[in-house]
Amino acid sequence: MPKEFGRNLRVAKLIKEELATLIQEKFPLKQYGLVTLTNVDVSPDLKNSTIYFTSLNNKKANSEITIELNQNAGHFRYEVSKILTSKTVPSLCFKYDQSMERVQRLNTIFELVNTQSEKNRKT
């Protein structure tokens, strides 16, 4: 395993932990719902990172939350730089994680298929 890969994972974990706290403080639940970070990907050169999030009970559209998080990315990056000991601090890009919606859609399809197959067996 390349050494950079291990470092990327450590930096991603550190960014995720710090941002989780910052986002909960910066984005109150009443306004945005529960914003949860699902994954952080850091580029091999540690210059860029993509932060994936989901939002539960969101009062605003996911695209609006994404825009607001990206508008505050500079502030979040500054806060992360205080605890990161590397020379560079990755730029932060927030993206909505659609995996939960895909899982729900697949579950609905599976339930529909199961219901149809049970009806076919009975007839």
Look at residue 13 and tell me if it is in a domain: yes
Q: Distance between CA atoms of 62 and 95, rounded to whole angstroms?
A: 9
Residue 26 lies in a domain: yes
- Does residue 104 fall inside a structural domain? no
65: domain CATH number is 3.30.300.20
Task: Look at residue 116 and tell me if it is in a domain.
Answer: no
Establish if 118 belongs to a structural domain: no
105 occurs within a structural domain: no
Contacts of 58 (CB under 8 A, 6+ apart): 32, 33, 65
Q: Please give the residue range of the domain that contains residue 21.
A: 3-98
pLDDT computed for residue 51 by the predictor: 96
What is the CB-side half-sphere exposure of residue 31 using CA atoms within 13 A? 9
Is residue 43 domain-resident?
yes
Residue 81 lies in a domain: yes
- pLDDT score at 12: 92
> Can you name the residues that pair with 42 across neighbouring β-strands?
49
The residue ranges of the chain whose pLDDT is under 50 are 1-2
The domain total for the chain is 1
Within the chain, strands assigned E span 34-42, 48-56, 91-96
Q: Of 95, 96, 86, 84, give the one whose Cα is nearest residue 15.
A: 84
